[in-house]
């Protein structure tokens, strides 16, 4: 029966939170956080033993309910597990179930500290994140204005007294992460706390040698609250779009063919470069091909002029052999007047012994 009531209470409690949910799930709680919750609690049942004359058996305390609040500070490990220390307060006004004419009641206050371990099912990726937890600690039970009467007997009035008792609790809850405020979540919970108060004893006032012994308490509570995670990391930005492949570079329009010193014949490497130029002339819009010959400064100006012309003519002839129309080729010779690398006279500079093929 208690389990069925717990599940029903959890469903009712979760409904308003789930109604708020959109489609943004909360991630795991990471780092320090604080939470605050409040709601309503009721005593599931606690009996008593008494020495009031005429009262036989164990009259049962029936709860009228009351407020509950809890403040906690904790730490999330980032894998769904959280640990926290909680301070709580509960208030209940009770009366006695009609038992052989017994009437009266007591005010119950419970407050204390609980250490909790919780687990968030964040990996479900639901709009709300369910969680469960267990805890243990100490609760101080304060009995006030306790009375117990049976018609025709002196009855009993009892003083106020506070007892320290160990307690355990179970927690079922859901949380909804507020998308606009990273780290902030709304929570809803059902809690069942057992307070081991059996044997807590209150004596009657002077002249009334009566005795009241409280049994164990089973307290249920529904709470709504807020939680703020200081270590929450904002959602990662969407991945950058995949880079678009750059178009293939256009074929070069200038080709350099180099020659050995004082030579005009084509080397195998020179023929390969000329072939590349001839092939490129068929893939790009070419209206003219300029073939310009050059020489280094190791000979006379007249000799170098003639040498650069032979080099240019040999390159032009190779282009024609490879299918380039002769009419599109213009041949020039500049001798040693336009060095690629400036040098003194007589220096054998390999980069100045060249032919430039320019596609236009």
Q: What is the DSSP string of 246-269?
A: PPPPPPPSEEEEE--TT--SPPHH
Q: 254-359 in CATH: which number?
A: 3.30.1330.60
The CA distances from residue 60 to 56, 251, 259, in Å, are 12, 97, 114
The half-sphere exposure of 139 on its side-chain side, counting CA atoms within 13 A, is 28
Q: 52 and 213 in contact (C-beta within 8 Å)?
A: no
CATH topology of domain 2-229: Porin (2.40.160)
Tens digit of pLDDT at every position of the chain (360 positions): 444 554 444 444 444 433 333 333 467 899 999 999 999 998 875 655 555 555 555 556 677 789 999 999 999 998 999 999 999 999 987 776 655 566 667 788 899 999 999 999 989 989 999 999 999 999 998 877 766 665 555 555 666 778 899 999 999 999 999 988 888 999 999 999 999 887 666 665 444 445 566 778 888 999 999 999 997 655 567 777 877 766 655 556 888 999 998 898 988 999 998 898 888 888 777 778 899 999 998 889 899 899 899 999 998 898 889 888 888 889 999 998 888 888 888 888 899 899 998 888
Which regions of the chain carry the CATH code 3.30.1330.60? 254-359
Which regions of the chain carry the CATH code 2.40.160.20? 2-229
Residue at token pair 């790009």: 284
């Amino acid at each position: 029966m208690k389990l069925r009531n717990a599940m029903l209470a959890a469903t009712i409690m979760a409904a308003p939170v789930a109604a708020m949910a959109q489609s943004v799930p909360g991630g795991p709680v990471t780092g320090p956080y604080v939470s605050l919750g409040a709601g309503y609690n009721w005593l599931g049942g606690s009996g008593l033993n008494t020495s009031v004359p005429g009262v036989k058996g164990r009259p049962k305390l029936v709860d009228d309910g009351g407020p509950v609040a809890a403040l906690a500070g904790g730490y999330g490990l980032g894998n769904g597990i959280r640990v926290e220390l909680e301070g709580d307060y509960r208030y209940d006004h009770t009366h006695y179930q009609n038992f052989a004419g017994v009437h009266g009641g007591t005010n119950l206050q419970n407050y204390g500290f609980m250490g909790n371990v919780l687990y968030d099912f964040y990996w479900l990726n639901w709009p709300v994140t369910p969680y469960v937890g267990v805890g243990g600690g100490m609760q101080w039970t304060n009995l006030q204005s306790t009375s117990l009467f049976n018609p025709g007997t002196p009855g009993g009035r009892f003083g106020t007294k506070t007892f320290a008792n160990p307690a355990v609790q179970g927690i079922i809850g859901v949380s909804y992460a507020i998308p606009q405020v990273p780290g902030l979540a709304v929570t809803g919970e059902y809690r069942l706390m057992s307070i081991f108060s059996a044997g807590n004893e209150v004596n009657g006032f002077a002249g009334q040698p009566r005795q009241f012994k409280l049994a164990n308490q089973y307290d249920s509570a529904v709470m709504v609250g807020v939680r703020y995670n200081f270590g929450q990391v904002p959602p990662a930005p969407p991945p950058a779009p995949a880079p678009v492949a750059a178009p293939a570079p256009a074929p070069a329009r200038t080709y350099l063919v180099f020659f050995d010193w004082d030579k005009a014949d084509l080397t195998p490497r020179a023929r390969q470069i000329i072939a590349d130029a001839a092939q490129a002339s068929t893939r790009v819009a070419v209206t003219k091909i300029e073939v310009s010959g050059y020489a280094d400064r190791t000979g006379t100006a007249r000799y170098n002029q003639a040498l650069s012309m032979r080099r240019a003519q040999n390159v032009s002839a190779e282009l024609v052999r490879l299918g380039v129309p002769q009419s599109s080729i213009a041949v020039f010779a500049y001798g040693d007047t336009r060095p690629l690398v400036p040098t003194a006279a007589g220096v054998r500079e390999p980069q100045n012994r060249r032919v430039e093929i320019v596609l236009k």
